[in-house]
Structure 1
Amino acid sequence: MNAATLSILLLLSAGLFATGFFGLLARRAILFQLISLELMLAGPALGFIAGGAYHGGQTGQAMFVLILILAAAEVALGLALYLALRRVADVEDADTITRLRH
């Protein structure tokens, strides 16, 4: 892999992260926010893979596996919280959650 390919992949990685960040800020629905968080995690994962391939080491792939594990845990916890909120209070909007009280 040459430096030009690395630059393109790192720009793509930054674009994925920026798209996820914009989606997180723009959307109020919880499911769309979870999808945006996944995009935000995919950006650095691609960057680690590209950096590891450029330097010829295995550390980029190891970091990708750690990010993949983190993303899976985040999705499991986020969906569990979303389903619990839907069952208890029929909440889909993140703004509505801040107004819930016991």
Structure 2
Amino acid sequence: MDHIVQNIQGIPLNHYLIFCSIVFAIGVIGVLIRRNVIIIMMSIELMLNSVNLLLAAFSAYRGDASGQVFVFFVMALAAAEVAVGLAIVIMVYRNTKSVDLESLSKLRW
């Protein structure tokens, strides 16, 4: 396990900051531009994973494993989010035969 921490610490922290910022920005652009609900969910997961990577990098640089444990909890929460989100998308598709955001406005009362 120590060699993993040494590999993480071998890369400067600002490289992690730049990479995670770029990945997070790609996720934000995907949420703002796309109309497909599945693509939007993938973009949200991309943003969440970039934050997880940054949290793990900060935790490794600090030498504390509590941040890495928190990453596992966030990943479990993200898995539950995806399961519920995909169930909703499947039900919307069965009713409207589309997964675009425009079809969700038809589900109002």
Same fold (TM over 0.5): yes
Give unpaired runs (5+ residues) of structure 2: 1-8
| Residue 23 (structure 1) aligns with | 30
1:1-102 to structure 2, matched below 5 A, reads 1=9, 5-102=12-109
TM (normalized to structure 1)?
0.90
1:11-53 deviation per Cα after TM superposition (whole angstroms, max 9, x unaligned): 1111111110110111000110011011010111011110011
Alpha-carbon distance between aligned partners in 2 of 1:92 and 1:12, rounded to the nearest angstrom: 31
- The alignment of Structure 1 onto Structure 2 pairs a total of residues equal to 101
Do the aligned residues in 2 keep the contact of 1:10 with 1:50 (CA within 8 Å)?
no
Identity %: 35
Give unpaired runs (5+ residues) of structure 1: none
TM (normalized to structure 2)?
0.85
RMSD of Structure 2 on Structure 1 (CA) = 1.4
Do the aligned residues in 1 keep the contact of 2:96 with 2:103 (CA within 8 Å)?
no
Alpha-carbon distance between aligned partners in 2 of 1:54 and 1:87, rounded to the nearest angstrom: 48
Q: Aligned partner of 2:17: which letter?
A: L
Alpha-carbon distance between aligned partners in 1 of 2:108 and 2:33, rounded to the nearest angstrom: 25
